[in-house]
Structure 1
Amino acid sequence: MFDKKDFQVFNDDTLDGRLNLIKSQLDPKFELFGQDLLKALETEYQQQFFMKIAKHQRRTKNPPPDTWLAINQDKKGYKKTPHLEFGLWPDRYFITFSLLADIRNRNNYYPILNEYQNKIITEGWGVSNDHTSSTLKKSADFEQVIAHYQKVKSSDLVVGFELLKDDPIVSEGNYDQMLKDKFLQLSKYLVIFNQEVDR
């Protein structure tokens, strides 16, 4: 399904051109891949999940720098809840678990982050305080990322995985299963954080 040609949508620097390429070339893949992820998640956890594919409707001038699908457990919307994303920057695929700056009941997630800090570091996920940046720091920086998230209200909390388009895996092709496996591995944090904060 996914291949190196996916990144060609970013070669068009016009708003309408890029949006049309995303809609025609990537969104159908997101829909198929996302439905497969939903099925796998609901089988694994016996819970309900919801998907949204980015439509970039608020953009009126500049083309979107990235595009994605998001999955969470609240059908009202994903941005104010813990959520997972799979998408593309011009130079990489990304799979992330995020708590954004304006998440509901933000303070309730701080002790959960501290509790799972060592596990996330041990598993080697990339980390960040900015969901609008393509770059993830090394997992060893997670303690600092958590501290920053707790002190700076405008910061995000991002945990994830990235696959560069120049990686030999992408050149060889046939990496859909790897992306799915990484997404499902990360999904446990979505479920755990929702369960812990609801207690």
Structure 2
Amino acid sequence: MFDKNDFKVFEDMTLPGRLGLIRANLDPKFEEIGAELIRRLEAEYQQQFFMKIAKHQRRTRNPPPDTWLAINQDKRGYKKSPHLELGLWPDRYFITFSLLADIKGRPGYYPILKEYQDTIITEGWGVSNDHTSSEMRPASDLDKVIARYEKVKSSDLVIGYELKADDPVVVKGEYDQLLIDKFMQLSKLMVIFNEEFDR
């Protein structure tokens, strides 16, 4: 399914050109892997999950710098709730768990983050305060990322995994299962955070 040619969509610097390539080359892959992820998530957790593929409809001038599918547990939308994304920047695949700046009930997630901080660090996920940037910090910086998320209203809380376009695994091919496995591993955070928040 996924292969190193996926990144060629970002070589087109025009808005209609890049959108056309995303819709033709990546969205069908997102549909396929997204359906498989939903199937696995619902079998694993016996709960309902919802998927949305980015359409970039608000863009009128600049081409999107990245593209993704999002999965969450709220059918009303994913941005105001804990959610997972699988997508591409021009130089890497990413799988992330996010609590965005304007998430509903934001302070309620602070103690949950502290409770699972050691687990996240031990598992070695990348961390960030900005979902609009491809750069992630090492898991050892999680305490700083959490502190900023608690203090700065505009900051996000992002935890995830990245697979660079020049990684030998990508060059060799056959890494769909790796992406699925990482997504499923990260999914437990989304489910836990939703369950803990609702208590």
Determine if the TM-score, normalized by the shorter chain, exceeds 0.5. Answer: yes
Q: Where does structure 2 lack aligned partners over 5 or more consecutive residues?
A: none
Shift of 1:22: 0.2
* Secondary structure of the structure 1 residue equivalent to 2:65: coil
CA distance in 1, matches of 2:63, 2:186: 29
| Counterpart for residue 8 of structure 1 | 8
CA distance in 2, matches of 1:109, 1:14: 39
| Counterpart for residue 195 of structure 1 | 195
| Counterpart for residue 35 of structure 2 | 35
Q: Which amino acid aligns with 1:179?
A: L
* Secondary structure of the structure 1 residue equivalent to 2:58: coil
Aligned: 1:62 with 2:65: no
- Structure 1's consecutive aligned runs of 4 or more residues displaced over 2 angstroms after TM superposition are none
Counting only pairs closer than 5 Å after superposition, residues 54-133 of structure 1 correspond to structure 2 as 54-133=54-133
CA distance in 1, matches of 2:197, 2:164: 34
Q: Where does structure 1 lack aligned partners over 5 or more consecutive residues?
A: none
CA distance in 2, matches of 1:190, 1:170: 27
CA distance in 1, matches of 2:8, 2:75: 32
* Secondary structure of the structure 2 residue equivalent to 1:61: coil
CA distance in 2, matches of 1:153, 1:114: 18
| Counterpart for residue 152 of structure 1 | 152
Q: Which amino acid aligns with 1:124?
A: G
CA distance in 1, matches of 2:122, 2:153: 27
Aligned residues with identical type, % of pairs: 73
TM-score, normalising length: structure 2 = 1.00
Shift of 1:102: 0.2
* Secondary structure of the structure 2 residue equivalent to 1:127: strand
Shift of 1:93: 0.1
Q: What is the total number of aligned residue pairs between the two structures?
A: 199
Q: Which amino acid aligns with 1:189?
A: L
After superposition, give the CA deviation of every residue in 1:78-111 in whole Å (9 maximum; x if it has no partner).
0000000000000000000000000000000000
After superposition, give the CA deviation of every residue in 1:43-68 in whole Å (9 maximum; x if it has no partner).
00000000000000000000000000
| Counterpart for residue 22 of structure 1 | 22
TM-score, normalising length: structure 1 = 1.00
Shift of 1:197: 0.3
* Secondary structure of the structure 2 residue equivalent to 1:81: coil
Shift of 1:131: 0.1
After superposition, give the CA deviation of every residue in 1:102-143 in whole Å (9 maximum; x if it has no partner).
000000000000000000000000000000000110000000
